[in-house]
Structure 1
């Protein structure tokens, strides 16, 4: 967002957060969710399990990012590993995918082809437009398609790669952001940098909306940057009538040891195993931190 102001918030000189790895959504019908994300967004199904104890599917976004779908099962946990932290998929999450800016017109045609209503919003200026397309999946999650310039100097840890064009699906190249709801907004602004090391970048002037850069240092958003982001706001309706997610499960690439030291000092419930670090935030979100693959 360009209509914003930078404020001061305690944070480390260098953030241990590196990039966005995965987002987990809560859905009420797993097969329908898999069809939507395969047929509309062109994601590749890596695994799917539907049964009495769990109902989950994982889809490949690119070589380093995945999207998971969890259908709640009564009195069961979708991931036994995260059961002590009571992890759930996010409800009504707003999140964004990256596409090449030149592909935005084709994205409109694909959305029309699938009968999906969409809204275009220019988050930049008339001289430097930064357009995004907004639409909803069948479960009320608010999706955004944001154009990126892969030659931009503000590079993410894992730069998305362009795949050959496929008919009838959106030309997705990466996950861009997740937007989470926080009831205690003022505490969140200091809590996220202190407890985990997120790099606070800015907040909006007209509403409780803060942005954190998933990178060693905070950087400006918009104008085609391929960086990834964590957004945090109060529960009010956001841009394009989209809500921040409740009880979200989000995975990040990070310096796990550095985050672990902060989490222990903050006294947050967590677990550490061969996968990485998982933490339950006081707001009910569960964050996972894993080392990036070599």
Structure 2
């Protein structure tokens, strides 16, 4: 279902994703007073280990032992001490965030400011800039419109790749029957490859009965966050009036005046976000909900930041 907006141009930032807007969000993140991140942190319960090898950060030097790589000899310490010493290196544990982006047709709906799909793209772009600023890698996986995947990359190049993919995927919409959230979560579990954090961005309408079990499974592999994007009509009782809507090119007008009629309409529209939030709540997965008119930065920072002791999830 698409809310009718009388706009002719593509990439308007309301019905279609704009690349310049996504790139400009970098300055928002750069100016924000960011809380401490879970950067380069292992999943809860795991202990860091010192691993040594080529191409890693220098840790210390020790007496040479048979089998040590002679190319790693510490010649200065060897000269001072008169005994062979080998340089040891500590692995830099680089955090990786995989973002699961809902691209179902239901995301192309909006009655305030922009479509849910455009708001979701803004969330993803902000997350990408946030993560690479912390020295982490960011990857992107879509579910719904297709199975496209962007492998995790670091630095500004990684965030720009995410922004480019968002615009490209939005413009090159594929014919698809959709994908359940449970299947997407299962697929993500097979694509982890060192990922230690996952952010799910969805309106929840693809949330099925099996999603709770799949989400629980994923929390055993990574630190999971959920951000629900919803329209104002999905979050509260719509005011009385006439609502022009569009679905697959067909325009219709819905008339809502009676309180019961308006409540039933809101409950049908908001069923997805209610299910997804309820599942996240039951599993203790940190989650936030934003509407299409909101500035998503604060909600996103609250999800991705390391929660302070005693903070409520």
Q: Provide TM-score, normalisation by structure 1.
A: 0.26
Q: Provide TM-score, normalisation by structure 2.
A: 0.25
- Give the number of the structure with larger relative contact order, counting CA–CA contacts within 8 Å between residues 6 or more apart: 1
